Amino acid sequence: MKFKRIKLKRIILTSMTLLAVSPALLAKASFDFSINVSAEKKNHVIFVDDIDSLKGMASKLNENSDGQLSKLIALNKFKAEKGEILHLQMVADSESILIIGTKDSDGLSGPELQNLGGKIASSFNSAQDDIDVAIHVENLQTNEASPSAHLAYGYHLRHYSFDRYKTKKSEGQSDVSLISANAEESSNLYNNDLAYIAEGVHLTRDLATEPGNHMYPQAFVDVAKAKFKGIKNIDIDVLDMRDIRKLKMGALEGVGKGSVNDPRLLVIKYNGNEKGNAPIALVGKGITFDTGGISLKQNTGMWAMKSDLAGAAAVAGALYANAKRGEKVNLIGFMPLAENMPSQDAIRPGDVLETMKGVSIEIISTDAEGRLILADAVYYAQQKYKPRMLLNIATLTGSAGRALSDEYAAVITRDFELSRKMMTVGERSGENVWPLPLHPNHFKQIESPIADIKNSGAGNPGASIGAAVVATFIDDDLPWVHLDIAGVDWLESDIDVAPKGSQGWGVRFMDQLVRDNLN
């Protein structure tokens, strides 16, 4: 029988160019969605749920190898358990066959499919090596209408390498065909939607991985302007030190005073809906490097404080994804940017800062700086743009990571029912959150004897205390979500959809939040 093949739109993935130097990600991938596989493919991915009854391409490969495939499966004691992987080389005419177990995987969710896509990219070492592979989507039990798109999305998320400063670059080229009955629908979903989220995640990783001597407030602004150039319905405002002082943003100014690099407030507006519709506001902490200021951190691990801008980077990534796919929403990102450095001009413990709201803050620790820059940013967002919902995201407190490890980001709201909704957002996006409390006593703990509030509780810089500081600047009747991502933003080891390092956490969560709250 003559096989039928639909050749659909292919997309080439490349990285942005940061700071007019060579791109961080040189590895590329292309995705082709087809009904049947072309004869020249030598690498295959098959999903198996029953080793005693191989079906589809698994059965064909076994037949082509005169039963060698099933014998190797038995020899390697492969049980086809959910997520189990067996990678075989030189079976019949195939250079390699990647077998992934799907036993007892009834109704795989979108995030589970994305994890499988990431496993495939990782198994083929996609960012380093050239690979030409066919993924056979049959035998997957899922409620998703276009599982191929989610597999490609997960592959794209994992297909990342930051090697700008290495002599030897990662130049792996992946040519991936996804074989399924609904190829056209999968192509449309991936190319017109999910690919943009993955690109937003990669943007976030790039920003959070750049070393501090290359990534400072104005550099962040320059990268964002270059990335958003030419995208429809985007307006960008940048508040410099003169604007910050004019608006009496004493908290943002104070944090940045110790650095030779002045602070900025970057505002990216995406106008995807009617002008009169109130926007959703996303506010991300952007400390481009955090020494702790006068309350100097220990040197151990301080190098990782280049990623203390991860909240702002995630906001940029989420804005990018929504704008590129043309989401019908008004969305504004606010990125307060500052470098927290010790110098003769730096703020000291015991100083008092005046905020844009007029609330004065006594500084207990200059290392509790993220809540300070958020204070002015969230108030500015409310006063100027009157949002219908506000989410702020920050690598704010180590206590959030100690409480929830690297499995969950902390979510804090005034309304526990809203926190429960955020948990479902996390489950559907693949970025899980868990609620922490916001109690009236937390506000009592930040009362100051000489100012309105202090920026830290006495000896207790906990996640809820940090949230209470930010909440002081949030209108009581505004739906507000506080995300503390200090435990999840930086990976010590690989996961399915991200290599170690910055995982770009928050882009997928905020993207799902926006989808759930369209006008």
**pLDDT per residue as tens digits for the range 131-144:** 899 999 988 889 89
* Residue 267 confidence (pLDDT) above 80: yes
Q: What gap in Å lies between CA 448 and CA 451, rounded to an integer? A: 5
Q: Cα separation of 86 and 105, whole Å? A: 17
Residue 157 sits in the same domain as residue 243: no
Strand 43-48 relative to strand 433-435: parallel, antiparallel, unpaired? Answer: unpaired
pLDDT for 459 equals 55
Decide if 371 is catalytic: yes
Structural domain that includes position 114: 11-204
Asked if residue 513 is part of any domain, the answer here is: no
Q: How many CA atoms within 13 Å lie on the side-chain side of 489?
A: 33
Over residues 137-166, mean pLDDT: 93
Q: Categorize the per-residue pLDDT at 461 as very low, low, confident or very high, splitting at 50, 70 and 90.
A: low
Total number of domains constituting the chain: 2
Do 200 and 246 have their domain in common? no
The mean pLDDT of 224-241, rounded to a whole number, is: 98
- Say which CATH number the domain at 453 has: 3.40.630.10
Kindly report the average pLDDT of the chain as a whole number: 91
Cα 461 from Cα 11, distance rounded (Å): 46
Is the residue at 382 inside a domain?
yes
Residues 374 and 479 in one domain: yes
Are the C-beta atoms of 282 and 200 separated by less than 8 Å?
no
147 and 274 assigned to the same domain: no
How large is the average pLDDT for residues 290-314?
Answer: 96
Cβ atoms of 14 and 28 closer than 8 Å: yes
Does 96 fall in a domain?
Answer: yes
Q: From the candidates 55, 169, 297, 428, give the one annotated as an active-site residue.
A: 297
Q: 272 and 196: one domain? A: no
Claim to verify: residue 54 and residue 175 sit in the same structural domain: yes
* Active-site residue identified among 371, 421, 454, 508: 371
Q: Residue 227: its pLDDT value, please?
A: 98
* 337 part of a folded domain: yes
CA 442 to chain centre: 29
pLDDT tier, 34 (very low <50, low <70, confident <90, very high otherwise)? very high
Cα–Cα distance, 224 to 218 (Å, whole number): 10
pLDDT at 452: 98
Q: Is the pLDDT of residue 470 over 70?
A: yes
Handedness of CA 420, 422, 424, 426 (dihedral sign): negative
Q: What is the pLDDT of residue 103?
A: 86
Based on C-alpha coordinates, what's the Rg of the chain?
24
Q: Looking at the structure, do residues 246 and 186 belong to the same domain, yes or no?
A: no
Residue 107: what pLDDT? 85
Whether the predicted model's global pTM rises above the 0.85 cut:
yes
321, pLDDT greater than 70: yes
CATH of the domain at 154: 3.40.220.10
Beta-bridged to residue 337, according to DSSP, are 264, 286
Specify whether 189 is located in the same domain as 253: no
Beta-bridge partner residues of 163: none
Has residue 23 been placed in a domain?
yes
Confidence label for 491 from pLDDT (cuts 50, 70 and 90)? very high
Residue 225 lies in a domain: no
Contact between 8 and 187 (Cβ < 8 Å): yes
Q: Is pLDDT above 60 for 2?
A: no
The answer to whether residue 502 sits within a structural domain is no
Question: What pLDDT shows up at residue 308?
Answer: 98
Under the banding of pLDDT at 50, 70 and 90, the label for residue 13 is very low
pLDDT of residue 216: 98
Report the alpha-carbon distance of residue 427 to residue 436 in Å, rounded.
17
**For residues 438-456, average pLDDT:** 96
Q: Are 372 and 252 in contact (CB under 8 A)?
A: yes
Span of 1-15, 32-46, 248-262 with lowest mean pLDDT: 1-15
Banded pLDDT at 27 (limits 50, 70, 90): low
Residue 514 in any domain: the answer is: no
pLDDT beyond 80 at 18: no
Ramachandran quadrant class, 90 (left: phi over 0; alpha: psi -120 to 50; beta: rest): left
Amino acid 251 reads: A
Are 278 and 200 in the same domain? no
- Residue 4's pLDDT is 38
Could you tell me which residues come within 8 angstroms of residue 52 by beta carbon, excluding any fewer than 6 positions away?
none
Q: Which of 159, 187, 204 delimits the end of a domain?
A: 204
Helices (H), 281-415: 310-325, 370-385, 398-404
Q: What's residue 473's pLDDT?
A: 98
Tell me: do 111 and 245 sit in the same domain.
no
pLDDT of 41 = 80
With pLDDT > 70 as the criterion, what percentage of the chain qualifies?
Answer: 93
Looking at the fold, whether 244 and 193 belong to one and the same domain comes out as: no
451: pLDDT strictly greater than 90: yes
| Final residue in a domain of this structure, among 158, 186, 204 | 204
Say whether both 243 and 165 belong to one domain: no
pLDDT of residue 39: 61
